[in-house]
């Protein structure tokens, strides 16, 4: 009983030919903004310096195909945008098989898959085919390669939405939008992030500021960090790169570089207090945009909570990474887990028991059951006494929950009660 | 071959109706003082403020029973002091079964047990019965409830004995005395503490000051801490709450709130170096008077070394927690374990090898066996060299023993020898 | 296919009667110096104070035997230098069996082994025999004991070779030379150290200074430390006591007293990245010259990398610790492991990625494979990105390798490449 809008957005975003720049990316961001209503798109001009990088020429494509000696057209862009080497320069010329060979890409070990290949930073052109189709191509005669693309000065586009809060602390979600038609390793991330945005927008009394970044992988995030990185270094409480979150596989949480940040602590806590299988792995370079967020100069508290991670499933970076791999009910559960992390980040704070010496007399406040009591009442009382004992200004609510072994959110009712009574106060720090 | 006095004191203390105040408590302390000769009792007047608490009215009781419609008397105080809801206000009135019902307490899942129930901080009266007996009571006719108790301004009583030492550091033992006729969860604690007092008094050249607190649970210890808590915060080296120490079950050591205090380190060390099974559990609120000693404002180095802990055996807080559960030989072994902890705390210190550079030439001092040597001599030499190497002023004797894997007390002979020779000096810190 | 010189040196060193002083020791050092060409021998005069010790009289011996009542000579020094209690005073006298008994040493549980026994610091004389031979000696008649030794003022000898470097940091190797004819627990250490010297001397561009100490156990190292100990305390990066390294048993690394020094970290790292079985054990007093290097006043970063350790094999300290226990191919593998440790210590440093913010653009430097790539290329790229990410000035190369799970030396090629490119700089600290 998943929200049917998720699948509907999948279907609309699927056919668009995205890349790290260009109109496919702009069109995708425009669709995202239907849900992420605060989305603001920024353009960064070709040639702009971004730390060690530079914004490349903008790439757009209209059509492409390879015409065989017998006139048959294969590797047609209109069949699948994966058929074109992404960022191919324009071409229209006749070639022999030998001349064509360095421009064809296949996966011999997966004969039915069209590989996804790019050439962002090296001028090149080419076609990607299934190995099965490649084997059937005649080795004799003249081919004609046609790629109607443009590589021109333009700009790189990224989108950011901000939901402001009052605490002065920020939480970041970041996903990439730059691959053509692929499912887990492209659309799953933006879909989770779109509906996570919607859920957070609906939370009453948000304390923290939430930032949602939709950007092309690597260069887009580098552009984003060139503008916002030093601000994040000041204020970021926790961040997550959302990717490969579309199937029903076990959760994988990849820690931030420092490994013990608020992002890591809260993700691990909420993973322990849900029912699906999960694993936690250390930070490693490789992977996605955590490479930039966790570069040593920034070293931000950014981890990544995924399902089956990139590079560990065979369909990765091929035409087989398609809708058949998606599990939309699991997508919703992933969103729910992120929402629990957000609720935990919202609630976590340092509290102080105003009766520090000996335990408070709960009876006179009607907070202790003097006679009788069911098991549930016993647990409520136990949570309450535990919370009061460790509310010493040195343990945050997450420490307190971890020492008790319960979900931090289980303190909610007691917390409200004890704050209202004045037995607890929240410390600002 | 246990000391027959332990069982004799059990039998004398058993029938007294104790509560958190009153003459039963005073009478019990008077019996305790026959062994604990330095015991001094203090009275704290009704209404005295104790942090968040207040001393309640004093409760005393002479007799009580429930007269059935047929004139038969049940729930007779003279049969068992558990039959009266502890701290019942006085009553003498006739009631129907319906009116009586909220005043009767039973345990349906343990039909032969009389439950132990209290109402210290809420005015109430009642009777506790076995569920079997309750089922036989007629549902028709008029009952007569009689409780000859008094709730009047008076005082709360606690006892403390001090065995003074010279180090300026203090060791605390604390047990509660406030339950009526129960064994493990009442008398076992005071009995262990009485004879531990006697053993410590007999130790020659005590270094530390020892405090022995016999007080009603919770309110009594809160009263004690209101007078002595800040002094303990200055000087307390280690403390232990002694409770449920009367059976032959495995030892359970519950750590102090900080978890790595001298109390914890020494208890765990001595548990590892004895032969009975044991477990070590983290601090948790719930339990006994460690709730007060380890409240965040005090956060004292107080753990609890028990046998089968409260709440984990089915007879807990019922009439079935009686002498049949006691194992007096095990009580003596518990006392012996506490004595070893005390000996360890007495001996533990920082020592300094006066030859810091290269090892001392033991031969010229007659401390090395130049030719031959049995296994035992080899172990003595190994202990000696180990002790000299780590006597660097940064490892205390307990660290040194833990690194070697032996009981700290095994260093005794070498320690005396090397101190006498001048190769070791004790550091004051 | 081991270097035949190792076995040849074993054979030449084997028959010499060494002790903690004397001409046997000098003769052995002279042979060592044929390989260790920088060896400088020092003499420390009898009576010199060395911390808590004093240099003893020098001992030399020409011949010794025990003449039986029937004129037969047994325990002949010319058969084995183990027959004489090492450091025996001279004697030439007739005795009954009863008078002789306190001067005879055997091992009843190993009837065919001649024990190795010494009497350095207590005047005595004696003979060591196999228990089988001892049992055949007649209990009646007059024996004649002859020991042609000299105990006279002289000096203690030790040798040191230094291979200078430029970093200001020093690495120490130390082995003992003081036992008469024994293999694992005498000659294996000097043999490893001799050829390790040769290999380190051949290393181009050595950064660190290397010290190689050949000294009598205990007193010789104490003499060495009395002259060099405080310098080592300033400059020593890592040190290793080389002993019992002659058989093919599993490697055993015994940690330094502090347990986390550069010596420990690099030895454990290189052990993890070789193929033979190994174990790592904590520091303990007992053992060899680490007792002096790791005495509390010095507390130097000195561990010990052995094969089967002293005292754990039955032939230890007997005539059965002989060439039959040696495995010369394993000796070479031990040397190789030490060489890898040295290479690791040479290469380990703090590096700094000059592009700290976001990852460097490797493509424009030709350091990234834009299209295609084999598995090996993928690993090289992964190593490169990992190295760049953690080159933050806070992780040394060993930390970086341990986080990646690879041998530190595997970074060599990338390191050179990135240093040459200027993407990495070495930090001086």
Here the tokens at position B34 are: 């026959």
Q: What angle do CA C78, C79, C85 make, to 5 degrees?
A: 80
Here the tokens at position B109 are: 């899942």
- Of residues A120, A285, A295, nearest to C357 (C-beta): A295
- Of residues B361, B370, B385, nearest to C286 (C-beta): B385
Lowest mean pLDDT among A371-375, B213-217, C148-152: A371-375
Q: Does C391 contact A295 at a Cβ distance shorter than 8 Å? A: no
Give the ipTM: 0.92
* SS3 assignment, position B252: strand
pLDDT for A376 equals: 80
pLDDT for C367 equals: 87
Here the tokens at position C276 are: 């033979």
Q: Does A50 contact C360 at a Cβ distance shorter than 8 Å? A: no
In angstroms, the CA C215 to CA C50 distance is 15
Query: With a threshold of 0.90, does the pTM exceed it?
Result: yes
In angstroms, the CA B129 to CA B79 distance is 11
Please tell me the distance in Å from A167's CA to the nearest CA on chain B: 27
In angstroms, the CA C343 to CA A9 distance is 57
Please tell me the distance in Å from A302's CA to the nearest CA on chain C: 14
In angstroms, the CA C417 to CA C405 distance is 21
pLDDT for C104 equals: 98
Q: Spell out the alpha helix ranges (H) of B202-241.
A: 219-235
Please tell me the distance in Å from B115's CA to the nearest CA on chain C: 55
Report the mean per-residue pLDDT for chain B. 96
- Of residues B52, B226, B286, nearest to A382 (C-beta): B286
pLDDT for C226 equals: 98
Chain A interface with B: residues with Cβ < 8 Å? 353, 355-361, 363-364, 370-371, 382, 385-386, 388-392, 403-404
pLDDT digits (tens, 9 = 90+) for B30-49: 999 999 999 999 999 999 99
Chain A partners within 8 Å of B105 (Cβ): 371
* CA closest to C118 among chain B residues: B371
Chain A partners within 8 Å of C353 (Cβ): 296
Closest of B93, B78, B181, B97 to residue B135, by C-alpha: B97
Which residues neighbour B21 within 8 Å (Cβ) at sequence distance 6 or greater?
B55, B56, B57, B58, B59, B154, B155, B156, B157, B216
Q: Does B51 contact A363 at a Cβ distance shorter than 8 Å? A: no
CB C325 within 8 A of CB C183: yes
The alpha carbon of B369 is separated from its chain's Cα centroid by a whole number of angstroms, namely: 47
- The CB-based long-range contact list for B78-82 (8 Å cut-off, 24+ gap) reads B80/B114, B80/B181, B80/B319, B81/B15, B81/B16, B81/B17, B81/B180, B81/B181, B82/B114, B82/B115, B82/B116, B82/B128, B82/B180, B82/B181, B82/B182, B82/B318, B82/B319
What is the pLDDT tens value at each position of chain A, 429 positions in all? 579 999 999 999 999 999 999 999 999 999 999 999 999 999 999 999 999 999 999 999 999 999 999 999 999 999 999 999 999 999 999 999 999 999 999 999 999 999 999 999 999 999 999 999 999 999 999 999 999 999 999 999 999 999 999 999 999 999 999 999 999 999 999 999 999 999 999 999 999 999 999 999 999 999 999 999 999 999 999 999 999 999 999 999 999 999 999 999 999 999 999 999 999 999 999 899 999 999 999 999 999 999 999 889 999 999 999 999 999 999 999 999 999 999 999 999 999 999 999 999 999 998 886 444 455 888 889 999 999 999 999 999 999 999 999 999 999 999 999 999 999 999 987
Please tell me the distance in Å from C52's CA to the nearest CA on chain B: 6
pLDDT for A371 equals: 42
Strands B251-254 and B302-306, how do they pair? antiparallel
Q: How many CB pairs under 8 A join B and C?
A: 69
Inter-CA distances, A112 with A318, A341, B181, B381, Å: 10, 40, 82, 75
- Of residues B51, B117, B226, nearest to A355 (C-beta): B51
Q: Does B292 contact A370 at a Cβ distance shorter than 8 Å? A: no
Chain A partners within 8 Å of C351 (Cβ): none
DSSP code string of B256-306: PSSS-SHHHHHHHHHHHTSSS-EEEE---SSSSTHHHHTSTTT--SEEEEE
Residue A193, φ and ψ in degrees, nearest 5: -70, -35
Which residues neighbour A212 within 8 Å (Cβ) at sequence distance 6 or greater?
A36, A39, A160, A161, A162, A163, A173, A174, A193, A196, A197
Please tell me the distance in Å from A349's CA to the nearest CA on chain B: 17
Mean pLDDT for C245-266 is 97
Please tell me the distance in Å from A110's CA to the nearest CA on chain C: 15
DSSP character for B104?
E
Which residues neighbour C172 within 8 Å (Cβ) at sequence distance 6 or greater?
C210, C211, C213, C232, C236, C238, C239, C240, C293, C300, C302
Q: Quick one: angle between helices B262-272 and B397-404, nearest 10?
A: 30
Please tell me the distance in Å from A92's CA to the nearest CA on chain C: 22
* CA closest to A282 among chain C residues: C403
pLDDT digits (tens, 9 = 90+) for B101-156: 999 999 999 999 999 999 999 999 999 999 999 999 999 999 999 999 999 999 99
Strands A142-152 and A91-96, how do they pair? antiparallel
Here the tokens at position B296 are: 């965040």
Max intra-chain CA distance, chain A: 96
Chain C partners within 8 Å of A281 (Cβ): none
What SS3 string covers chain A? Answer: CCCHHHHHHHHHHCCCCCCCCCHHHHHHHHHHHHHCCCCEEEEEECCCEECCEECCCEEEEEEEEEECCCCCEECCCCCCHHHECECCCCEEEEEEHHHHHHHEECCCCCCCCCECCECCCCCCCCEECCHHHHHHCCCCCEEEEEEEEEEECCEEEEEEEEECCCCCCEEEEEEECCCCCCHHHHHHHHHHHHHHHHHHHCCCCCCCEEEEEEECCCHHHHHHHHHHHHHHHHHEEEEEECCCCCCCCCEEEECCCCCCCHHHHHHHHHHHCCCCCEEEECCCCCCCCHHHHCCCCCCCCEEEEECCCCCCCCCCCECCCCHHHCCHHHHHHHHHHHHHHHHHHHHCCEEEECCCCCCCCCHHHCCCCCCCCCHHHHHHHHHHHHHHHHCEEEEEHHHHHHHHCCCHHHHHHHHHHHHHHCCEEEECC
Inter-CA distances, A79 with A72, A87, A126, Å: 14, 18, 16
In angstroms, the CA B221 to CA B42 distance is 12
What's the first-to-final CA gap in chain B, in angstroms? 42
pLDDT digits (tens, 9 = 90+) for B342-395: 999 999 999 999 999 999 999 999 888 644 445 588 888 999 999 999 999 999
Q: Is it the case that residue C373 has pLDDT exceeding 60?
A: no
- Of residues A357, A363, A386, nearest to B229 (C-beta): A357
DSSP lists the bridge partners of residue C104 as C127
Neighbour order of strands in the sheet with B142-152? B73-74, B58-67, B142-152, B91-96
Chain C interface with B: residues with Cβ < 8 Å? 50-54, 105, 117, 119-122, 124, 218, 221-222, 225-226, 229, 257, 282, 284-286, 291-292, 294-299
Please tell me the distance in Å from A117's CA to the nearest CA on chain C: 7
Mean pLDDT for C170-191 is 97
Q: Does A225 contact C358 at a Cβ distance shorter than 8 Å? A: yes
Chain C partners within 8 Å of A297 (Cβ): 356-358
Mean pLDDT for C219-248 is 97
**Chains interfacing with C (3 or more CB pairs < 8 Å):** A, B
Q: Is it the case that residue C370 has pLDDT exceeding 80?
A: no
CB B371 within 8 A of CB C124: yes
Q: Is it the case that residue C368 has pLDDT exceeding 90?
A: no
pLDDT for B76 equals: 98
In angstroms, the CA B319 to CA B321 distance is 5
Q: What angle do CA A290, A293, A299 make, to 5 degrees?
A: 115
Task: Give the mutation candidate from B296, B298, B299, B316 for the A interface (greatest A CB count, under 10 A).
Answer: B296
* CA closest to A352 among chain B residues: B296
Q: Does C124 contact B371 at a Cβ distance shorter than 8 Å? A: yes
Q: Is it the case that residue C375 has pLDDT exceeding 60?
A: no
A358: left (phi over 0), alpha (psi -120 to 50) or beta: left
pLDDT for B373 equals: 44
In angstroms, the CA A118 to CA B182 distance is 80
In angstroms, the CA B378 to CA B384 distance is 10
DSSP lists the bridge partners of residue A122 as none
In angstroms, the CA C110 to CA C131 distance is 7
* SS3 assignment, position C372: coil
Q: Is it the case that residue C390 has pLDDT exceeding 60?
A: yes
Q: Does C357 contact A291 at a Cβ distance shorter than 8 Å? A: no
Q: Is it the case that residue B334 has pLDDT exceeding 50?
A: yes
In angstroms, the CA B381 to CA B358 distance is 16
Q: Is it the case that residue C93 has pLDDT exceeding 50?
A: yes
Please tell me the distance in Å from C261's CA to the nearest CA on chain A: 23
* CA closest to C390 among chain A residues: A296
Residue with token string 């006691």: B326
**Residue C371's pLDDT band (cuts 50, 70, 90):** very low
DSSP lists the bridge partners of residue B144 as B67, B94
Q: Does A51 contact C382 at a Cβ distance shorter than 8 Å? A: no
Chain B interface with C: residues with Cβ < 8 Å? 353, 355-361, 363-364, 370-371, 382, 385-386, 388-392, 403-404
């Amino acid at each position: 009983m998943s929200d049917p809008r998720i699948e509907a957005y999948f279907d609309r975003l699927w056919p668009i030919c995205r890349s790290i720049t260009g109109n496919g990316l702009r069109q995708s961001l425009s669709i995202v903004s239907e849900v992420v209503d605060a989305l603001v798109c920024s353009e960064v001009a070709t040639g702009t310096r971004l730390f060690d990088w530079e914004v490349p020429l903008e790439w757009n494509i209209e059509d492409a195909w390879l015409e065989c000696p017998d006139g048959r057209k294969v590797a047609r862009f209109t069949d699948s945008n994966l058929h074109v080497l992404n960022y191919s320069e324009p071409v229209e010329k006749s070639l022999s098989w030998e001349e064509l060979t360095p421009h064809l890409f296949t996966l011999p070990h997966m004969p039915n898959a069209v590989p996804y290949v790019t050439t962002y930073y090296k001028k090149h052109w080419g076609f990607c085919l299934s190995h099965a189709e490649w084997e059937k191509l005649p080795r004799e005669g003249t081919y004609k390669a046609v790629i109607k693309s443009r590589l021109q000065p333009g700009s790189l586009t990224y989108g950011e939405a901000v939901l402001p809060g009052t605490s002065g602390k920020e939480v970041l979600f970041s996903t990439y939008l730059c691959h053509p038609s692929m499912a887990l390793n492209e659309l799953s991330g933006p879909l989770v992030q779109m509906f996570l945005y919607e859920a957070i927008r609906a939370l009453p009394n948000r304390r923290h500021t939430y930032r949602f970044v939709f950007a092309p992988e690597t260069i887009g995030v580098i552009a984003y960090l060139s503008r916002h990185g030093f601000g994040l270094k000041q204020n970021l409480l926790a961040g997550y790169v959302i990717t490969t979150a579309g199937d029903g596989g076990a959760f994988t949480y990849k820690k931030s570089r420092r490994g013990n940040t608020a992002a890591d602590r809260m993700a691990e806590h909420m993973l322990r207090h849900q029912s699906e299988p999960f694993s936690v792995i250390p930070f490693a370079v490789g992977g996605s945009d955590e490479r930039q967020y966790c570069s040593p100069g920034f070293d931000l508290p950014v981890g990544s909570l995924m399902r089956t991670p990139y590079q560990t499933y065979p369909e990765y970076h091929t035409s087989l990474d398609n809708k058949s791999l998606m599990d939309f009910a699991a997508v919703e559960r992933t969103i729910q887990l992120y929402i629990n992390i957000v609720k935990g980040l919202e609630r976590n704070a340092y509290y102080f028991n105003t009766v520090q010496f000996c335990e408070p007399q709960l009876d006179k406040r009607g907070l202790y059951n003097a006679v009788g009591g069911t098991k549930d009442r016993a647990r409520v009382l136990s949570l309450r006494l535990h919370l009061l004992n460790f509310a010493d200004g040195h343990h945050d609510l997450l420490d307190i929950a971890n020492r008790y072994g319960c979900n931090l959110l289980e303190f909610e009712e007691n917390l409200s009660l004890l704050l209202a009574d004045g037995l607890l106060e929240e410390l600002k720090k």
